Structure 1
């Protein structure tokens, strides 16, 4: 077996010193949960405490990865793809998915293997709560195992609709963990990489029943409005995403000066988003991105090729989550509407894996939505607490508002989104304002340090000049230049005029004529107030008012 990390040895001792059959181990992504579980399996097999091992995983790709990892450590486990694989001669056990236990003969076949003493390893156990059939199938299949060890990357709260088998909860619905290895400890131990969260604000506009609506990402909004704003800024033809992708690509270029094979990941909301983002990045970077989607049978091979290559970008839709190990990822763009802490941490986990002799901060670009900001602050406060830095206050208490994806309201039609504007960065529990960032980058250039390390200089800068560099200087208001406002409004009027023309079965020139009759000048000569007037009138026409 490979040499174990300190946390893995401690977790093994916790399980060895206990007498109960069920254990829950949480370890931050990239910390080595697979190696820990396989070391436990090898020890129990050697002692004779168990004679077989059954590993249950959420995806087909993880089924193969677990079997490969076990084989490298001298433990032969069969990835199940046929009924005879559950007890195939020459193997000490098998790897099966939760879905395989939910229907058909899978649960019966795995249950039969537990006639002999069996260790059941339940990877990313929270997936057993995704449906009642998954949870029921798992419970029936491994309830006779002499020991069950559940693994997860982050704790979760009780789901009354889909309770998770073999997991204990406290009175607040939080899972009870036997051993936890959190992100902050992993960074302090050098097991995981530090990550900077760079949040960008922006504003979207829409029409709803003839009324123009608008809101910014950072505002406290109703959930349906948050969803609409995200739809607006994530739209590839609006201004927000192209600006953000260019910022991310510039950051990747900077990191690749020292780490030549550093790569970037965009987590996209929809497949058509991913294809359009690929076109934008092709234009921005001059290179061809890799696009992977869940219903592409070649997606796993594409991820493997990207892992081994030196290409710049991979864009994924519901593909790059648990178990996907691409240690060269250094820059990410979070363009998903999913706002649950579990999914957010899964994405963060793609960037924290380390390689020998590399020291740099990964960077994740996120929309400045309050829910995502809270998740980022909580992760970074875990790190700051571990490093014994003064926190200055408690972290967020639970989730605030709905965190699930919401579709665009049927009466709403998107019109535009502004360019992405840097709002703040989050590092080690500190919020870094635009003023802080500019000062840190200037200091880095003076010292001859790559600006990718600029935020690491902030603690030293504040110690040396606490009065000149307050902890939270007021952020300067981002003012959109007038010519950009006019250009954006002209585009909005053009978009809405075409939509109204289509709805009214008119030619676009006829709509323009009606606007001139209403007293408006040609769009190229219109002022900002006149363009807004056109937009409001078109919205009323479009809404039938």
Structure 2
């Protein structure tokens, strides 16, 4: 696409120059979309600018007479609001969905309430359907029984629209099910035993139409270089009290992964423990203070496990003399507060899920990951909130999390996605151990990822268990053999926390 083609004079607002990847994707979509190839998937790393690309593509399709109307679907009200603004600014047409508009934007939740009306619109006009964060929908034409509600609605709507454009930085589902409307290829399973009489079914591999990777985005200066720090402790003491016998049992652990193998301790409880949470927030505040010396608008994000947890984190940050914006589904005027945070200079925003994906706040550069969700999709989506660059002086961003085995595995995969000269792994240790009981840096090798660490995870079960045990209590209960065993309210950590730095140092 030529430069003059991109500028398209006559539109009401001057647009930012398209990045090379955006122009290439638009060119490919314009050449590809046709009655025989009506669906297009753009897989681009979070923070790359997918929405602007989609809006310019919409304008191009309208200009050449291929579509009359655009329908945008997104996961949250704040994402939808931002997308409608971008579409209106780029196309110069109203996107409010009322009389005289050329488009509308809805959440996936709202789709079912107006599905029949939108189907009629599709029959009467040529419609482009943009469905953002496409991994929220499940369903496939050959396996409709696996479809979720949003997937079924999309497949019903697809029959009436002219084209669909799917956008995602993580186009896969944690449950392994397929995404609707997209192309999959059957690939053989290579790791099946040779003497296995039953041939395993082939894996279905998604075929995106356009891919823009994190490596490309960093090399192009589109995304920041993520510096991921996983926090661990080498001297942890867990005390259990046996109510019947009155006996106390104390065990010591040399790492958080080691601790989490104990049946009385799980990740959701650890996130609420004062000492690791305090250390994680201290690191985040120190890093943000350093960044704000050069950029007073730089901000941080904390992703909490639930609303009570988020409120406790906000209070802890305020105790550190930090300015905080708490945004949860129960907070009054949550979307207005989120919108205001985008343009002000408040230091931190604390949320559970409202800022986990699709939200564009480029001034976010630090994240403390305290969510109970341990899926690679969620981890990468959260990382995407701090990765988008604003200029030439914000090349790095920082994410802090506990050294939980699944998160460590995802961090290593992020490292695999970085340019080779940035994909370094180092293990800095504390210079001194402030706790006399803490092992020195020369003792105990750093824990490695074992098959037990990589066991499948059911996040819904984790969340349900956390709710059953009480969101606001720091006291954990363990029931075995009909007798109640109780943990002391505090698991004791040494003060010698250390940071495991993954893929985060630019070599000179």
Q: Is the 8 A contact 2:137 2:151 kept in 1?
A: yes
Q: Evaluate the alpha carbon distance shift between residue 153 and residue 254 of structure 1 in structure 2; reply closer, same or farther with a 3 A threshold.
A: same
Quick check: 1:205 aligned with 2:222? no
Q: Is the 8 A contact 2:172 2:178 kept in 1?
A: no
Q: Evaluate the alpha carbon distance shift between residue 416 and residue 324 of structure 1 in structure 2; reply closer, same or farther with a 3 A threshold.
A: same
Aligned to 1:349: 384
Q: Is the 8 A contact 2:46 2:384 kept in 1?
A: yes
Provide the rounded CA distance (Å) in 2 between the counterparts of 1:326 and 1:95: 20
Quick check: 1:40 aligned with 2:39? no
Aligned to 2:428: none
Q: Which runs of 5+ in 1 are unaligned?
A: 80-84, 429-454, 461-545
Structure-1-length-normalised TM-score: 0.70
Return the match for 1:374 from 397, 409, 414: 409
Provide the rounded CA distance (Å) in 2 between the counterparts of 1:208 and 1:129: 46
What are the residue-to-residue correspondences of 1:65-104 with 2, within 5 Å? 65-79=82-96, 85=97, 88-102=98-112, 104=113
Aligned to 2:501: 425
SS at match of 1:56: strand
Q: Once the 2 structures are TM-superposed, how far is the Cα of residue 117 of structure 1 from its aligned partner?
A: 1.8
SS at match of 2:106: strand
Computing the radius of gyration from Cα coordinates, the structure with the larger value is 1
Q: Once the 2 structures are TM-superposed, how far is the Cα of residue 157 of structure 1 from its aligned partner?
A: 4.8
Residues paired across the two proteins, number: 415
Provide the rounded CA distance (Å) in 1 between the counterparts of 2:241 and 2:329: 33
Q: Is the 8 A contact 1:234 1:335 kept in 2?
A: yes
Provide the rounded CA distance (Å) in 1 between the counterparts of 2:161 and 2:280: 50
Q: Evaluate the alpha carbon distance shift between residue 15 and residue 107 of structure 1 in structure 2; reply closer, same or farther with a 3 A threshold.
A: same
Aligned to 1:431: none
Q: Evaluate the alpha carbon distance shift between residue 27 and residue 206 of structure 1 in structure 2; reply closer, same or farther with a 3 A threshold.
A: farther
Aligned to 2:300: 264
Provide the rounded CA distance (Å) in 1 between the counterparts of 2:158 and 2:80: 17
Structure-2-length-normalised TM-score: 0.74
Higher percent of residues as helix: 1
**Cα shift readout 1:343-400 (whole Å, capped 9, x = no counterpart):** 0011101111111232342111111112111111211221124x69799xxx999x93
Provide the rounded CA distance (Å) in 2 between the counterparts of 1:379 and 1:111: 40
Return the match for 1:28 from 40, 45, 68: 45
Q: Is the 8 A contact 1:241 1:420 kept in 2?
A: no
Aligned to 1:167: 182
SS at match of 1:383: coil
Return the match for 2:117 from 109, 116, 122: 109
**Cα shift readout 1:90-141 (whole Å, capped 9, x = no counterpart):** 2112112211223x3x110111111222211111111123972211112112
**Cα shift readout 1:267-310 (whole Å, capped 9, x = no counterpart):** 111222222222222222x1332211123241111222222221
Q: Evaluate the alpha carbon distance shift between residue 231 and residue 158 of structure 1 in structure 2; reply closer, same or farther with a 3 A threshold.
A: closer
Q: Once the 2 structures are TM-superposed, how far is the Cα of residue 179 of structure 1 from its aligned partner?
A: 0.8
Provide the rounded CA distance (Å) in 1 between the counterparts of 2:275 and 2:184: 45
What are the residue-to-residue correspondences of 1:411-450 with 2, within 5 Å? 411-412=477-478, 414=487, 415-417=489-491, 418=493, 419=495, 421-427=497-503
Q: Is the 8 A contact 2:94 2:100 kept in 1?
A: no
**Cα shift readout 1:294-344 (whole Å, capped 9, x = no counterpart):** 232411112222222212111111111222111111211101121111100
Q: Is the 8 A contact 1:56 1:122 kept in 2?
A: yes
Q: Is the 8 A contact 2:303 2:356 kept in 1?
A: no
Return the match for 2:318 from 282, 289, 306: 282
The worse-fitting range, judged by mean Cα deviation, of 369-378 and 201-210 is: 201-210
Aligned to 1:235: 272
Q: Evaluate the alpha carbon distance shift between residue 199 and residue 155 of structure 1 in structure 2; reply closer, same or farther with a 3 A threshold.
A: same
Aligned to 2:224: 193
Q: Is the 8 A contact 2:173 2:377 kept in 1?
A: no
Q: Evaluate the alpha carbon distance shift between residue 224 and residue 343 of structure 1 in structure 2; reply closer, same or farther with a 3 A threshold.
A: farther
SS at match of 1:337: coil
Q: Is the 8 A contact 2:129 2:165 kept in 1?
A: yes
Provide the rounded CA distance (Å) in 2 between the counterparts of 1:78 and 1:173: 37
Provide the rounded CA distance (Å) in 2 between the counterparts of 1:52 and 1:299: 30
Quick check: 1:219 aligned with 2:219? no
Q: Evaluate the alpha carbon distance shift between residue 186 and residue 214 of structure 1 in structure 2; reply closer, same or farther with a 3 A threshold.
A: same
Return the match for 2:137 from 115, 119, 128: 128
**Cα shift readout 1:253-275 (whole Å, capped 9, x = no counterpart):** 11111111211111111222222
Aligned to 1:327: 362
Q: Evaluate the alpha carbon distance shift between residue 345 and residue 390 of structure 1 in structure 2; reply closer, same or farther with a 3 A threshold.
A: closer
Q: Evaluate the alpha carbon distance shift between residue 216 and residue 297 of structure 1 in structure 2; reply closer, same or farther with a 3 A threshold.
A: farther
Aligned to 1:543: none
Q: Is the 8 A contact 1:264 1:332 kept in 2?
A: yes
